Structure 1
Amino acid sequence: MKRLSDLRTLTTIATLAIIAAGMTLVLGTIFSGWTLGLRTDDRAVIVNTALVIYTCLLTAAAAVVALLAYRAATGRPELDIEITFNFSSPNEPVFVAESDEDDTLEGRLIAGFKQTWATVGLRNASRYAAKNPGVRIELEGLGGFGGQDGWEQVAFTTSVGVSAIQWDGGADSIVHGNWSRVLPPLDLAGVRELVPGGAAFVVTIVADGVSPVIRRLPVRILNQDEYAIYTEQRAQRLAQA
Structure 2
Amino acid sequence: MKRFRDLRYLTTVATLATIAVGTAVVLGVIFAGWTLGLGTDDRAVLLNTALVIYTCLLTAVAAVVALLAYRASTGRPDLGIEITFNFSFPNEPVFVAEHDEDSSSERRKLQSFKQTWATVTLKNASVYAAKNPGVRIELEGLGGLGEQPDWETVTFTGQVGITALQWDGGTESIVHGQWSRALPSLDFDGVRELVPNGTALVVTLVADGIVPVSRRLPVRILDQGEYDVYTDHRAQRLT
The TM-score normalised by the length of structure 2 is 0.94
Q: AA paired with 1:8?
A: R
Q: Which residue of 2 aligns with 1:84?
A: 84
1:216 aligns with 2:216: yes
Q: Which residue of 1 aligns with 2:177?
A: 177
Q: Which residue of 1 aligns with 2:196?
A: 196
Distance in 1 (CA, whole Å) between partners of 2:217 and 2:117 is: 16
Number of residue equivalences: 237
Distance in 2 (CA, whole Å) between partners of 1:74 and 1:62 is: 18
Distance in 2 (CA, whole Å) between partners of 1:138 and 1:106 is: 23
Contact 2:76 2:209 in 1 (8 A): yes
Q: Deviations over 1:124-167 (max 9, x none)?
A: 11222211111100001111111111111000122211100001
Could you tell me how far 1:202 is from its partner in structure 2?
0.3
Q: Which residue of 2 aligns with 1:47?
A: 47
Q: Which residue of 2 aligns with 1:167?
A: 167
Could you tell me how far 1:233 is from its partner in structure 2?
1.7
Structure 2: give runs of 5+ residues left out of the alignment: none
Distance in 2 (CA, whole Å) between partners of 1:6 and 1:208 is: 27
Contact 1:106 1:196 in 2 (8 A): no
Distance in 2 (CA, whole Å) between partners of 1:170 and 1:225 is: 45
Contact 2:99 2:106 in 1 (8 A): no
Q: AA paired with 1:112?
A: S
Contact 2:100 2:107 in 1 (8 A): no
1:130 aligns with 2:130: yes
Contact 2:110 2:221 in 1 (8 A): yes
Instruction: Compute the RMSD of aligned alpha carbons.
Output: 1.7
Could you tell me how far 1:11 is from its partner in structure 2?
2.4
- Percent sequence identity is 74
Contact 1:99 1:223 in 2 (8 A): no
Q: AA paired with 1:144?
A: G
Contact 2:156 2:164 in 1 (8 A): yes
Aligned structure 1 segments of 4 or more residues deviating by more than 4 angstroms? none
Could you tell me how far 1:192 is from its partner in structure 2?
1.1
Contact 1:135 1:168 in 2 (8 A): yes
Could you tell me how far 1:99 is from its partner in structure 2?
4.1
**Secondary structure of the residue that 2:14 maps to in structure 1?**
helix
Q: AA paired with 1:42?
A: D
Q: AA paired with 2:9?
A: T
Structure 1: give runs of 5+ residues left out of the alignment: none
